[in-house]
Amino acid sequence: MEEATKGMWVSTSVIIQEGNKMSEILLTKDNFQLVKYVIKWIETVRKSKDYSDDWLPNEIDAMKSRLFWRIRTGKDPLPEPPPRAYSCPWYEVIEQDRPHWANDLHDLKSFREAFHLKQEPDKLSICQCLYDIVEFDEKQRGIVKFGNYEFDIWKESRMVINSDQTHEQEFNGWWIQLRSEVTTNE
């Protein structure tokens, strides 16, 4: 059996036995690459605090995972998971150096007070993801934190060009932009 060495593809095959019959299955370069992507995906997810060391994906995980999609497109996982926007990882807010419209922002302090809930550190819900409030001023500008990522947030009206560059539209509301890269304690 030959295999991939030092990033160069040679060829590989697997011999299997079904009853009395021996068969050789060739593993194409694409098949082998997909296997490597699946292994990287599983290893990355298992390192996360949200999953156990024996986690394995199912078919729905494979179809819906943005992390798996990211790995299959040749991008490495981030050192720390990004915040989420409506339950999906929001990689763009980490990787695109520009303001992002945070069209769904809520201060949880008034919510806790209204429902007599226990006090926790001040948090903001941005696109249904909780961020810690680092600082906030009366001019509606502040700094929030998700994990080790810090973001500037502010309220203003901005003109934005759509993705196919055909027209410009005004968006009034909250904006968020990465302030600093994640730091790890390694």
- Chain segment 37-92, per-residue pLDDT in tens: 999 999 999 998 788 999 999 999 999 999 999 999 999 999 999 999 998 999 99
pTM greater than the 0.95 cutoff: no
User: By three-state DSSP, how is residue 78 classified?
Assistant: coil
Q: How far apart are CA 153 and CA 137, in angstroms?
A: 11
Instruction: Name the least confident of 11-15, 68-72, 124-128, 129-133.
Output: 11-15
Q: Where are the domains of the chain?
A: 79-186
Nearest 5°: phi and psi at 88?
Answer: -110, 140
Alpha-carbon distance 111 to 109, whole Å?
5
3-state DSSP assignment of residue 72: helix
Sheet holding 123-126, edge to edge: 100-101, 168-180, 149-161, 141-146, 129-136, 123-126, 105-107
- Nearest 5 degrees, angle CA 104-CA 73-CA 177? 30
* Token representation of residue 176: 């968020």
